[in-house]
Amino acid sequence: MNCNKNRMYPSGNPWNSRAFWANVCSLWVASFWVVAALGGRIKAEEVGQRWGTELREREYYPIVNIPIPKELVIEAGAFEVLPDKRVAVATRHGEIYLISGLDEPKPNPSYHLFATGLDEIFGLSYRDGVFYVTQSCEVTRVIDSDQDGTADRFETLSDGWGYANYHEYAFGSKMDAAGNLFVTLGLSNSYDSFALFRGFVMHVSPSGTTSAFASGLRSPAGIGTDEHGALFYIESQGPWNCSCSLKAVSQGSFHGHPASFNWYPYAPELGPRPEQPKSGSRTIVERERVKQLVPYAVVFPYIRMGRSITGFTVNRTGGKFGPFENQLFLGDYTQSILMRATTEQVNGVWQGACYPFREGLSTGILNVEFTPEGNLLCGGTNRGWPVRGIKPFALERVEWNGKMPFEIERITVQPDGFKIAFTKSVEPSVGSKPENYRVTNFTHPYHAGYGGPEIQRSTPEVRTVELAEDCMSATISLDTMSRGFVYEFDLGLLRSQDGEELLHKNAYYTVNEIPNR
């Protein structure tokens, strides 16, 4: 692989590269110094190609705009559904609104301002009358102690990290059953950790005891659990990350970017600092040497599957949202799109697949949440970074209209291939032919450069297809299976038994481990 030929990660001094500057200014990347150097101007950058599926997607998953009163600016950063079915929306402007009526057929919700004056909220959880708010500076218990409908008590639960640089956002998880919260802390810029624990996942206990939990983060966004209850966070493309990816977090895990190693002396609970990873290697190689390095569970090929993935949630709507129960739904800021992901654990390592879901949202998506009626509420803003959606801010509800799309429901790994489940039965004459399953694979370099190419691309041969009796799934076997590769599926030749094309023909499975026969 020759890095020098690719504009995404120039070798030598990256600070001198124009391409570097263009990239460094993309979402979650621009450091204060960069902005200052450019005189406050953000360099323009295109937001990437479209899937071109919006017109078909809307036949199954229409988007309903949630009206926002003219006088309000609601740049949603976090959502929480309350026991009384109101939805709390927390914003970049540091406000929390309680909204009712989101699920009405023609929504005309009422907005109640519950709290104000907080600092960029990217995490919101509610338990026993208390909001647990992750704002940039701290995790705060926000309480309405006199029960007059507005918050009057803001108790600091945890501020156990440094906060001193432009780029340092904090995203908080929902509270787990035992009352624990997890907070992801972005680096001070794409390359450095100048303030305490920047680049770490912090664990905050119900009493506020705060401890370092995992390291190696770059510019993380949402953190939460998947369908199995395992903890994941979303990482952005950048140094040591050639694409955005979903990463599995566990106590002491290291997630690839070594800038945060300098804080290990302050985190004895994490043990010794990991080995320094070698730039220009592969994660599959480095994870043998750097024991704490956890391979990226689901890689979202850059631009084809998002450029700055932000918040995610699990679909537990009991079928109200259609065929993708228990799957992760993720929003992307730059492209104003929604994607799906599924996860599975193989040989003790998490991996899985991602799938296009819906494009054409109106603003950059910062977070998503299912409403009480099983609609997917999306919100965010488009200011500051390149965003495809044209609204400065918006709340939108994606709903399933009951029509069944023909989609790849889920891909799981097999010892010599994959099992592909569909939402509708596949036309057997088409679905039983190996040549209708086009599979390629690639890997990314693991390196300090900014972003990176898809390399070592090859086309494994699909040897056999075994279509299930109900034609709802197909098991394919390949001539080779390679760990450390992303498998890209193009199933555009398949047809359902009604003759439909797949709504989205692509899916991407990250193989970290191959199950034993």
Q: Could you say which residues in the range 275-304 bind another protein, by CB under 8 A?
A: 303
Closest C-alpha among 60, 51, 63, 64 to residue 423: 60
Q: Which stretch binds another protein (CB under 8 A): 89-97, 316-324, 337-345, 499-507?
A: 89-97
The verdict on 61 binding another protein (CB under 8 A) reads no
- Whether residue 468 contacts residue 507, with contact meaning beta carbons closer than 8 Å, is answered with no
In order of 256, 278, 298, 387, the CA distances from 509 in angstroms are: 20, 25, 7, 26
Q: Which of 24, 25, 183, 339 binds another protein (CB under 8 A)?
A: 25
Nearest to another protein of 155, 479 (CB atom): 155
DSSP state of 266: G
Nearest to another protein of 93, 257 (CB atom): 93
Nearest to another protein of 135, 371 (CB atom): 135
Nearest to another protein of 55, 177 (CB atom): 55
Nearest to another protein of 35, 284 (CB atom): 35
Nearest to another protein of 381, 412 (CB atom): 381
- Binding positions for another protein, 171-230, rule CB under 8 A: 188, 192-196
Quote the least distance from Cβ 334 to another protein, whole Å. Answer: 8
Nearest to another protein of 89, 420 (CB atom): 89
Q: How many residues bind another protein (CB under 8 A)?
A: 78
- Whether residue 141 contacts residue 130, with contact meaning beta carbons closer than 8 Å, is answered with yes
Nearest to another protein of 15, 463 (CB atom): 15
- Binding positions for another protein, 351-410, rule CB under 8 A: 360, 364, 382-388, 390-392
Q: Which stretch binds another protein (CB under 8 A): 45-53, 233-241, 368-376, 426-434?
A: 45-53
What percent of the chain is helix, strand and coil (3-state, nearest 5)?
A: 10, 40, 55
Beta strand pairing call for 121-127 and 130-135:
antiparallel
Alpha carbon distance 358, 111 (integer Å)? 27
Q: Which of 15, 62, 457, 479 binds another protein (CB under 8 A)?
A: 62
Q: Which of 94, 186, 331, 449 binds another protein (CB under 8 A)?
A: 94
**Tokens found for residue 386:** 């390149």
Query: Quick check: helix, strand or coil at residue 330?
Result: strand
The verdict on 106 binding another protein (CB under 8 A) reads yes
Quote the least distance from Cβ 286 to another protein, whole Å. Answer: 25
Alpha carbon distance 394, 399 (integer Å)? 16
Q: At 369, phi and psi to the nearest 5?
A: -160, 145
CA Rg value for the chain: 22
Nearest to another protein of 117, 229 (CB atom): 117
Q: Which of 1, 3, 21, 35 binds another protein (CB under 8 A)?
A: 35
Q: Which of 54, 176, 490, 500 binds another protein (CB under 8 A)?
A: 54
Can you say whether the dihedral through the CA atoms of 63, 69, 71, 75 is positive or negative? negative
Q: Which amino acid is at 298?
A: V
Alpha carbon distance 68, 5 (integer Å)? 48
Alpha carbon distance 140, 155 (integer Å)? 5
- Binding positions for another protein, 299-338, rule CB under 8 A: 303, 334
Quote the least distance from Cβ 201 to another protein, whole Å. Answer: 17
Alpha carbon distance 221, 170 (integer Å)? 8
The verdict on 270 binding another protein (CB under 8 A) reads no
Alpha carbon distance 325, 315 (integer Å)? 5
Quote the least distance from Cβ 241 to another protein, whole Å. Answer: 17
Alpha carbon distance 200, 459 (integer Å)? 37
- The number of angstroms, rounded, from the C-alpha of 114 to the middle of its chain's C-alpha atoms is 28
- Binding positions for another protein, 402-461, rule CB under 8 A: none
Quote the least distance from Cβ 388 to another protein, whole Å. Answer: 6
Q: Which of 24, 78, 93, 351 binds another protein (CB under 8 A)?
A: 93
Specify the residue for token string 């279509």.
467
DSSP string, 94-143: S-EEEEE-TTSSS---EEEEEE-S-S-EEEEEEETTEEEEEETTEEEEEE
**Tokens found for residue 138:** 């701290």
Residue 236-265 contact track with another protein, rule CB under 8 A, x = bound: --------------------------xx--
Strands of the 201-204 sheet, one edge to the other: 170-172, 181-185, 201-204, 210-214
Quote the least distance from Cβ 488 to another protein, whole Å. Answer: 15
Q: Which stretch binds another protein (CB under 8 A): 57-65, 176-184, 226-234, 437-445?
A: 57-65
Q: Which of 2, 12, 16, 41 binds another protein (CB under 8 A)?
A: 41
Nearest to another protein of 263, 350 (CB atom): 263
Query: Quick check: helix, strand or coil at residue 339?
Result: strand
- Binding positions for another protein, 137-166, rule CB under 8 A: 137-138, 140-141, 145, 151-156, 159, 162-166
Alpha carbon distance 309, 364 (integer Å)? 10
Quote the least distance from Cβ 364 to another protein, whole Å. Answer: 8
Q: Please give the span between the terminal C-alpha atoms of the chain, in angstroms, as a whole number.
A: 33
